[in-house]
């Protein structure tokens, strides 16, 4: 609401006020065009509201400055010239806004006072007024015209009097019925909001990125742009939704006596109406609804920017009437702005647990969504370039619920001359190791994975994981204590831990400490494949690590291999080879490898291993899924064969089957092709089985695999 002004403050405008009004009108009209016509707002809603409130206050203080063409007298923007125009039978007005509890209380008081002036209520009647409370959707207002129950037209709000004809596009919105249920009234105009769900925006932006096209900043922009497409097929691809919230022109039918009943009536005709609504009494009821919705806001699938309060009784609404461009009987209570404008002071770079470098905006403090924000995520270097963010820029910051704040966009017209571009560092800001960013990836990464303090916990957890050295009992809780306490600075420090040191950790007894020391001792003896996997080289998974161990037979040979030699390893391509070489070229990583060898971590580099029998009920256990056939394995029954596993196998897990196949010389791959030799299929096998049948690839079950491996054992 506009601040009240004393009579002696009003009067002839001074030159400064007149100039300020002129500038405000020009700026607001620019923003109106960007928001209503171009669907590309350049400032947050809260900043627009601030400008409009300042203009309204100046015009109230200086009536001589008022004019019919002021943006304060308009609802929205002009209709687009490239779409047919439609004049509304009844104007589509906007609502005045309340931004705090006091303004809501004042609204309720004005309603009660006006009803007394109208003679509807006695001066001593202090009873509360009934209000219908609804959501304030963040989309595009629309008017649907039904004639004899059939959708005959649709138009945007436009300037309130004239909107754009978007009927062909509206027909593509599946939630809008083409025929109303149980109504053949000559004319029913339904008013509501077209919007987009957040999940649909994410899908749309993924498609935009794949095509190299611009992404949409928020669901409202995407919905507005989609509704105003010249090609209805483009609208259909947006997956727009609709919620009804009122009635315009109505001929040959009677609107219910209360607004809550009107919403029920619209729903009964097949129109979508939000279930999140209520009838309350007085200002306390209004504020209670506001707070309840605010708590649920983040969980909603679509964006809202507040709630709407309407006097429930239609008779009272008619007596209250309208003022200027808004009704007296309704008001929008807006949530604290989720967007605000501030200054981008600097960009720091944080190094994550996996080595990913993430730029973080350092901002001049600003309140967004009721919280003071000083930092915001920038995702990656490409995102900074796409948004053209520069140090010193005025930027729009968004914070939705508990989501980490993000910088939405810069405001180029406010850019200072000294603004500077951001450059991603070439060395890790934590450990000084080289930073790499493959050409086909958006994330830059530190290459000092075994050395970098920022990655230390992740490196230790991965090194001790089940498929690496399998160090029992070293989970996140213990690793956090070891690293945070400075007891483990490098992987080799693990093997220097003793029972007394471990017993000093939180919730660690002497027996548990002794068990951990025993687990470390057992883990010293491993396999080359496990050791390579445990190093955490990017793009080197468990299978590739085993392939490297088989091919080179020893660690020193791997350390000396150039990219050409690495490319000779089966299934190692240029990307993987380059990643291995970059990792091994980093002096810090070689130092850690040397420290591990000095700490007694060892393996038999050349001894071949054979598969244990894989037969249900046979003597001896099934091979562990962690078993690691080493390099230069003797030819097995599946040597050189490519196998795909799908479905639930009988009598064995897929990990057990994979280990047995690899121990027998075979290779397990993830997809079926003409080069696949077998598909091992179990129950509920899906697309892979169908693909194998289509290509004529041989299909076997678990019993056939056991028979194959058992026959091979007998041959030996």
User: Which positions are catalytic?
Assistant: 136
Distance (Å, whole) CA 544 – CA 523: 21
Q: What secondary structure does DSSP assign to 264-327, as a single string? A: HHHHHTT----S--EEEEHHHHHHHHHHHHHHHGGGSSS-EEEEEEEESBHHHHHHH-EETTEE
Burial of 698 (C-beta count, 10 Å sphere; 0-12/13-18/19+) = exposed
Distance (Å, whole) CA 563 – CA 578: 6
Burial of 281 (C-beta count, 10 Å sphere; 0-12/13-18/19+) = middle
Instruction: Assess contact for 480 and 505: CB atoms under 8 A.
Output: no
Q: What number of other Cβ atoms are within 10 A of residue 255's Cβ?
A: 14
CA-based end-to-end distance of the chain:
91
Distances (CA, A) of 552 to 169, 525, 568: 63, 19, 10
Residues 6+ apart with CB under 8 A from 90: 189, 248, 249
Distance (Å, whole) CA 389 – CA 386: 8
- Please, which residues bridge with residue 603 across strands? 526
CA dihedral 377, 379, 383, 387 (to 10 degrees): -10
Distances (CA, A) of 459 to 350, 469, 539, 698: 17, 12, 15, 41
Phi and psi at 242, nearest 5°, equal: -145, 140
Distance (Å, whole) CA 390 – CA 434: 25
Q: What number of other Cβ atoms are within 10 A of residue 502's Cβ?
A: 24
Instruction: Give 3-state DSSP helix, strand, coil % of the chain, rounded to 5.
Output: 40, 20, 40
């Amino acid at each position: 609401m506009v601040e009240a002004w004393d009579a002696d403050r009003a009067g002839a405008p001074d030159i400064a006020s007149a100039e300020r009004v002129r500038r405000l009108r020009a700026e607001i009209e620019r923003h109106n065009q960007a928001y209503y016509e171009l669907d590309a707002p350049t400032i947050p809603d809260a900043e627009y509201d601030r400008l409009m409130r300042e203009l309204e206050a100046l015009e109230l203080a200086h009536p001589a400055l008022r004019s019919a063409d002021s943006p304060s007298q308009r609802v929205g923007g002009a209709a687009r010239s490239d779409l047919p125009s439609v004049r509304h039978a009844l104007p589509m007005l906007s609502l005045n806004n309340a931004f705090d509890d006091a303004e809501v209380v004042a609204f309720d008081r004005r309603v009660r006072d006006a009803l007394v002036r109208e003679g509807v209520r006695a001066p001593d009647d202090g009873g509360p007024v009934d209000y219908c409370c609804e959501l304030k959707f963040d989309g595009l207002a629309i008017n649907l015209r039904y004639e004899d129950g059939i959708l005959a037209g649709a138009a945007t709000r436009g300037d309130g009097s004239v909107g754009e004809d978007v009927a062909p596009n509206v027909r593509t919105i599946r939630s809008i019925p083409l025929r109303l249920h149980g109504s053949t009234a000559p004319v029913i105009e339904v008013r509501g909001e077209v919007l987009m769900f957040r999940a649909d925006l994410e899908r749309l932006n993924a498609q935009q990125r794949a095509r190299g096209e611009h992404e949409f900043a928020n669901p409202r922009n995407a919905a507005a742009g989609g509704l105003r497409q010249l090609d209805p097929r483009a609208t259909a691809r947006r997956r727009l939704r609709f919620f009804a919230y009122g009635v315009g022109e109505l001929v040959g039918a009677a609107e219910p006596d209360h607004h809550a009943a009107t919403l029920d009536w619209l729903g009964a005709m097949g129109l979508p109406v939000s279930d999140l609504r209520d009838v309350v009494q007085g200002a306390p009821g209004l504020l209670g609804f506001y707070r309840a919705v605010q708590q649920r806001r983040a969980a909603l699938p679509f964006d809202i920017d507040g709630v709407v309060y309407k006097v429930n009784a239609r008779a009272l609404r008619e007596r209250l009437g309208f003022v200027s461009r808004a009704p007296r009987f309704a008001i929008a209570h807006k949530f604290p702005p989720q967007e605000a404008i501030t200054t981008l002071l600097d960009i720091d770079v944080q190094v994550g647990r996996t080595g990913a470098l993430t730029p973080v905006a350092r901002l001049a403090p600003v309140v967004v969504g009721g919280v003071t924000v000083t930092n915001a995520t920038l995702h990656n270097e490409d995102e900074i370039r796409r948004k053209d963010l520069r140090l010193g820029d005025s930027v729009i910051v968004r914070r939705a619920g508990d989501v980490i704040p993000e910088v939405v966009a810069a405001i180029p017209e406010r850019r200072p001359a000294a603004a500077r571009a951001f450059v991603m560092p070439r060395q890790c800001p934590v450990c000084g190791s080289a930073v790499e960013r493959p050409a086909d990836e958006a994330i830059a990464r530190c290459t000092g994975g075994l050395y970098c303090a920022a990655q230390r916990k992740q490196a230790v957890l991965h090194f001790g994981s089940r498929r690496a050295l399998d160090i029992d009992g070293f989970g996140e809780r213990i690793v956090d204590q070891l690293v945070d306490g400075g007891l483990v600075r490098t992987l080799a420090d693990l093997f220097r831990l003793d029972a007394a040191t471990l017993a000093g950790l939180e919730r660690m007894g002497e027996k548990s400490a002794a068990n951990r020391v025993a687990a470390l001792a057992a883990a010293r003896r491993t396999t080359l494949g496990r050791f390579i996997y445990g190093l955490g080289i990017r793009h080197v998974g468990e299978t590739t690590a085993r392939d490297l161990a088989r091919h080179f037979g020893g660690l020193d040979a791997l350390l000396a291999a150039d990219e050409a030699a690495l490319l000779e390893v089966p299934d190692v391509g240029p990307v993987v080879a380059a990643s291995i070489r970059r990792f091994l070229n980093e002096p810090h990583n070689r130092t850690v490898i040397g420290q591990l060898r000095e700490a007694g971590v060892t393996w038999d580099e050349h001894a071949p291993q054979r598969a244990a029998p894989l037969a249900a009920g046979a003597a001896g256990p099934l091979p562990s899924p962690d078993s690691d056939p080493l390099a230069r394995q003797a030819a097995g029954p599946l040597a050189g064969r490519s196998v795909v596993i799908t479905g639930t196998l009988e009598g064995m897990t897929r990990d057990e089957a994979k280990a047995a196949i690899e121990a027998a010389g075979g290779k397990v791959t993830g997809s079926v092709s003409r080069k696949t030799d077998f598909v091992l299929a179990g129950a509920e096998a899906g697309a892979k089985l169908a693909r194998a049948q289509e290509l004529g690839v041989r299909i076997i079950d678990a019993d056939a695999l056991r028979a194959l491996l058992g026959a091979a054992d007998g041959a030996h």
